Structure 1
């Protein structure tokens, strides 16, 4: 996903407007006069325009021009080649809207005249299924590919009334790709309506009035993080292609509802929580969310249970790596209850240690779950331990510890370490609490090396006295179930895992959540 802040085209060599009689300098490529006439919706010449000409292939492939003349007719000299031309026409009254004309194929083989005529455009009429929804903004983006080179142009507007048109001959089949995204705010929901097109032409008009049943619902919940004050922010945007996205404030313990168009593909959600004293606001990202018409997807950010989480997407960076004699750990130790890793985890202290055959190699302090060590060649047994204390470091603060054992030797290339984690995902209120004295079912998920069929044994336990005593709880069909203690108590969680190759994990989460 590419989020655009302002309109523009690819950088090149910007040429000033030249009279048709101008002559190229000695040794420069031969140039031709490109004359561009601009007409408004009444058919009259207008100086209210912004035009870009961008080289795609041929001698002019690296050229870019933004010629202007107040008369409405302007001439620029450019080398021979294929160009992308786009022109935005502004009426005398902004309330009447804007016209965007795109010529994806401009073959400059000699002196050429192009007429950009606002009368050829047709409306972009994309509206959500809520009559009172307020229009926020929209973006149109076009990419043109020729002979292996891609160039682009875009328009962004915060006013309704956009009209668009294709200009000139058709390009090669499939060489023109276009996105149109519009964003709205309503009483029932906010809306992100996006459409993509692949063709040999730019769009001339666009009409889409989706029904509510054809949209997907994304609910974003922001937890009331301990010590945080103020307002958080949430943004939603398509994962693929350029966009401006939809952003809005989100109060703690509140829910934002956004209805999106599944035709646009997967969607990304970003949440920035309220600031806590002396700590920066936490930023969480959930990318590539699959959405389906008529279905609701809920994402909760910054809520318990905080603990280790691994990136399980294909091709993700491994949690630990052995490269020669270097051992590196990279595990978000304080990911939130949904497994989102924070940009600035709130912690009081963090320590990581590495032992080789029982001998301490080193201790690192700093960011939770991230450290590097240098060891020695030869096969040996290792114990890698990472811990972090949340809150103010007092006895009531939450503490997370993960200790892995594995056998390793020097490698000739970066090799993933056989590390696993266990995720506990109870359904908690947005203040990180569960009802007292009730049967609580907690999904238990193994990530990493032991995921799937790699578990030899897994034992989970709970504690209501901050880890002094533990009670084993069976895991059945991926869930543990236990009765929560009296109101105001904390529940701690522990997992002891051995994978099928003998590697182990002991993971402890003291003060995982509270009861109410």
Structure 2
């Protein structure tokens, strides 16, 4: 697949030394720690470890075929988080998580980590049509050590340790179905994890993942207690799946996406959510129109800050971005252009109240993105020096077309109703909208037709031939603040 799918790690036989902690202000006497390992069968395994200094809150990785060597500053007590991996020819592969502490006292110390006491992470969902993947996180302070494997091959050595949390998540996938389990433990690594469930024990939600480009693949993730290695799971979009989720387990949903030839890469994500046992309301992701969910931007004193984020959020308002979007930002006061761009998001304004114009244009590769290949916003607003951080009086216009199919397409010659609403910047004073003008274009934004707004909804007569519909809206509120928003290729027309 394309960019962002996974990181590849190359190793060599023998010890591998990686990095060192920054030296302190005083002279540092460097010391070395060789980490050896024994698999549950008593053989020399691969070692992947993180050495953590709890006092400094810093860590760094080491790994090796039969041992791993770390370069450490002075005499300190470190926590060692390691995966002991058995992957010998003719043997069933397995991973064992080990946590220990070690005080470095000599110039070159040695410690052996054993997987022999490892207890199984024993999970099942009672569905023979699916395959699972487990991911565990061992956390302490700034440390988050991660190991994953498939059910029946992942173990952990029990240990009691104050401040340490152990979280296991698993994702099970099959034709049209996904299971998500997850449990957290505090006070160290538990003496084995056993969880056997059926569909009746779980929350059930039907989820549709629409596409907005040809040859598109999506990767639905649930970060949190139920995050079980689902970053390896890719679906051809559009797709509709039934998800069974462990009730009450925190799930920060994210949807990563790629195109067939990889330049398109980004994600859409909402806040963390949980599900109750039983059937939850159906969800739709990647629904047009892709445009800003909220404007953002604030002023503190004479300093204005604006970053072009969430410019490609889906119709439900889930925040989204595209890694390869080019965003141009320009701020003007009268005829004067102020130095503000996507990479320098702060600019100093005048002390007196003034009217400003902020223009943002987000451009995507149309061959890959297909929809919302160009999103333009132009704000006109008043601003004066503030005593504290104050949200800018900016708004966006949200379009949520009804009746589109899973490719975000309307049938040729049909009529599409589009609810339209104005969203005010979070924290800014909301003023009534006094003017709302909405237009549509079916010829690539060459000409525009005005649309009547009735009860917050407009109707578009779609062309009889395949193509795209662009949307444009201008909203003015009672304070005189204004936004003009244009979305090229807001949705497609296709048979």
Q: TM-score, normalised by structure 1?
A: 0.66
Distance 1:492 1:429 in 2: 17
**What secondary structure, in the 3-state scheme, does the structure 1 residue paired with 2:157 have?**
strand
> Within 1, Cα distance between the matches of 2:283 and 2:432?
29
| d(CA) in 2 for partners of 1:261, 1:232 | 25
Q: Could you tell me whether the CA contact under 8 Å between 1:321 and 1:329 is conserved in 2?
A: no
Question: Partner residue of 2:381?
Answer: 406
Match of 1:455 in 2: 432
| 2:119 pairs with one of 118, 122, 145 | 122
Q: Distance in 2 between matches of 1:52 and 1:401?
A: 47
Q: Alpha-carbon deviation of 1:184?
A: 2.7
2: CA distance, partners of 1:202 / 1:504 = 56
How far apart are residue 362 of structure 1 and its match? 3.7
Q: Does 1:319 align with 2:313?
A: no
- Cα deviation code 1:397-449 (max 9, x no counterpart): 98754332222246688754211111011132234333444573525352326
Q: Which position in structure 2 is the counterpart of 1:155? A: 147
Distance in 2, matches of 1:224 and 1:55, equals: 43
- 1:112, 1:206 → 2: CA distance? 31
Q: Among residues 414, 417, 420, which one is paired with 2:392 in the alignment? A: 417
CA separation of 1:326 and 1:483: change in aligned 2, threshold 3 A: closer
CA RMSD of aligned residues (A): 5.4
Report the Cα distance in structure 2 between the residues aligned to 1:95 and 1:218, rounded to whole angstroms.
Answer: 40
Distance 1:424 1:238 in 2: 28
Aligned to 1:292: 275
Q: Deviations over 1:163-192 (max 9, x none)?
A: 33315xx433xx220122233321231334
For 1:364-513, what aligned pairs fall within 5 Å after superposition?
377-386=351-360, 400-409=375-384, 416-427=391-402, 428-435=404-411, 436-438=413-415, 440=417, 442=419, 444-448=421-425, 453-457=430-434, 459-463=436-440, 468-475=448-455, 479-480=456-457, 482=459, 484-485=461-462, 487-488=464-465, 493-509=471-487, 512-513=490-491
Structure 1: gaps of 5 or more residues? 15-26, 71-77, 312-317
**Residue in 2 that maps onto 1:75:** none
Matches of 2:320 and 2:185 in 1, distance apart? Answer: 34
Is the 2:135–2:228 contact (alpha carbons within 8 Å) kept by the matching residues of 1?
A: yes
2:131 matches 1:134: yes
C-alpha change, 1:171 and 1:247, in structure 2 (3 Å) is closer
The 5-angstrom pairing of residues 59-458 of structure 1 reads 81=77, 83-84=79-80, 88=84, 90=86, 96=92, 98=94, 100=96, 102-104=98-100, 116=114, 118=116, 120-135=117-132, 137-144=133-140, 151=143, 153-158=145-150, 160-167=152-159, 170-172=160-162, 175-199=163-187, 201-213=188-200, 214-217=202-205, 219=207, 221-225=209-213, 229-239=214-224, 244-255=229-240, 258-274=243-259, 280-293=263-276, 294-295=279-280, 298-301=283-286, 304-310=288-294, 318-319=296-297, 324=302, 330=308, 335-339=313-317, 340-344=319-323, 356=333, 359-362=334-337, 377-386=351-360, 400-409=375-384, 416-427=391-402, 428-435=404-411, 436-438=413-415, 440=417, 442=419, 444-448=421-425, 453-457=430-434
For 2:486 and 2:63, how far apart are their aligned partners in 1? Answer: 62
Residue 483 to residue 373, structure 1, CA distance change in 2 (3 Å): same
Provide the rounded CA distance (Å) in 1 between the counterparts of 2:329 and 2:111.
Answer: 69
Partner residue, 2:70: none
TM-score (norm 2): 0.69
